[in-house]
Structure 1
Amino acid sequence: MQEYDNKVALIDAIKKTYQLFDREFDEILEEKKDIRIKEVDKTPQEMIVYQLGWLNLIMGWENDELNGKEVVTPSRDYKWNQLGQLYQSFYAEYSGYSLKELRNLFKESIEMWCDWIGQLSDEELFTPNVRKWTVTRANWPMWKWVHINSVAPFKSFRTKIRKWKNLTETI
C-alpha cells in the first residue's frame, strides 16, 4: 500500500486521483450511466455512488466519535458481512440523481474530505488507535482508512470505468 510522509502528500494524492477518476465521466452520456456489462461489476453511476457512500460513512463515524456517540461500523443497519446490502442502500439513496448531480455531490464530498484531513493533527492521522473507529485487528492508523476509501478505489474504479467505456462504445 502506498504510504505518505505527511497529510499534505495524502491530500494531494486524493485530489489528483479524484480529478483523474472524475474526468473519465466527461464523455459518458446521462442515458448510459446505468448500463451494466458483465465485464465490469458496477455501472458508472454505481461507481460514483459507492464512493459517496463510503466518504459519507467514514465522515459519519468521525462526527459520531467527536460528538461522544457510539460508533457502529460499518453502519447501524449493516454488519461487515453485509457489505453487498450496504452498497445496495447507497445505490437506492442516490437512484434519482443525474450523473451531473452525482459528480457535483462527489466534488463537494472530496472538498469536505480534504478539509477534514487538513484539520487533523499528524498524531490523529498517522498514529494507530487515536480514534476508536479505527481500532481493528489490523491496527491501522487513520490515514490507511482514508487511503483505502479514496485514493485506492479512485485508481481501481478509473480502470473499471475505462474498460466500461471501451466495451460500451457501440451501445
Structure 2
Amino acid sequence: MTVPQTKAELRSAIDKNFSKLMGYLNTIPEEMTLDNAMDGHAKGTQMSVRDLVSYLLGWNHLVVKWITADEKGLPVDFPETGFKWNQLGLLAQKFYADYKELNYHALLTELESAKENIVRLIDERSDDILYGKPWYTKWTMGRMISFNTSSPYANANGRIRQWAKNNQFSLK
C-alpha cells in the first residue's frame, strides 16, 4: 500500500490494516497469547501476541496524546516523556508493562477504542491540517499518525501471520 497523502487515504489505510489485524487477533485463543514466541521490538528480545497488542495500544494512546496536546497549544513531547527516538525498544517494554494487568479481550477492546479515538481526531481535521505543513520536524501530522497507526498495524499483521505459521495455527 502506498503512503497516505490525504485524509481519505489515511482513513482507508487505517481501516484496512486495522480490520485485518482485528480479524487475526480475534481468532487467537487467549491461552496462546502469552507465549513469547515472536521477535520483540527490542533487538534480541521475544514477545507474545499480548505484548504486540500492548505495543500497538501504547502507540495509539501516544498519537491521541500528541494530537490532544497540540490542540490545546501545549508542547508535544515526542515520542514520549522520558524517551528519545533511539530508545524505542525501552518504550516498547514500557507498553508491555503498562497493559499487563488487562486480559486479552480487554486489550482488544481498548485497542479498538483507541483506534476509534484516532479516527475521530482525524475526522475533525482538514486535509490542510493533516498534510499541508510540517508538524514534527519535516513530518506532517497525517504522516506521524500513519507512522504510528496504519504502518504498525500492517507490520503486526505480518508478525502475526509468521507467528501463526511457526505455531501451525490457522488464522481463518
For the superposition of Structure 1 and Structure 2, which TM-score range results when normalised by the shorter chain? 0.7 to 0.9
Q: Which runs of 4+ in 1 moved over 4 A?
A: none
Aligned partners of 2:64 and 2:117 also within 8 Å: no
> How far apart in 1 are the matches of 2:57 and 2:26?
18
Unaligned runs of 5+ in 1: none
Q: Residue type of the partner of 1:122? A: D
1:122 maps to which of 114, 117, 127: 127
Stretch moving more, 20-29 or 39-48: 39-48
Q: TM-score, normalised by structure 2?
A: 0.86
Aligned counterpart, 1:6:
6
2:91 maps to which of 46, 71, 86: 86
> How far apart in 1 are the matches of 2:161 and 2:3?
26
Q: 1:127–1:78: structure 2 CA closer, same or farther, 3 Å change rule?
A: same
Q: 1:5–1:148: structure 2 CA closer, same or farther, 3 Å change rule?
A: closer
Q: Deviations over 1:102-152 (max 9, x none)?
A: 1111111111111110111111111122xxxx322xx12121111111111
Aligned counterpart, 1:24:
24
- 1:104-119 map, 5 Å: 104-119=109-124
Question: Aligned pair 1:95/2:94, yes or no?
Answer: no
Aligned partners of 1:50 and 1:87 also within 8 Å: yes
1:54 maps to which of 32, 52, 59: 59
> How far apart in 2 are the matches of 1:60 and 1:17?
22
Stretch moving more, 95-104 or 8-17: 8-17
CA RMSD of aligned residues (A): 1.8
Displacement, 1:168? Answer: 2.0
Aligned counterpart, 2:39:
40
Q: How many residues align?
A: 163
Unaligned runs of 5+ in 2: 41-46
Q: Residue type of the partner of 1:145? A: M
Partner secondary structure for residue 25 of structure 2: coil
> How far apart in 1 are the matches of 2:4 and 2:91?
30
Q: Deviations over 1:16-59 (max 9, x none)?
A: 1101011111221111112112x533321111111111111121
Partner secondary structure for residue 24 of structure 1: helix
Aligned partners of 1:124 and 1:142 also within 8 Å: yes
Q: Residue type of the partner of 2:133? A: P
Displacement, 1:5? Answer: 5.4
Aligned partners of 1:78 and 1:86 also within 8 Å: yes
Question: Aligned pair 1:64/2:65, yes or no?
Answer: no
Aligned partners of 2:4 and 2:13 also within 8 Å: no
Identity percentage of aligned residues = 27
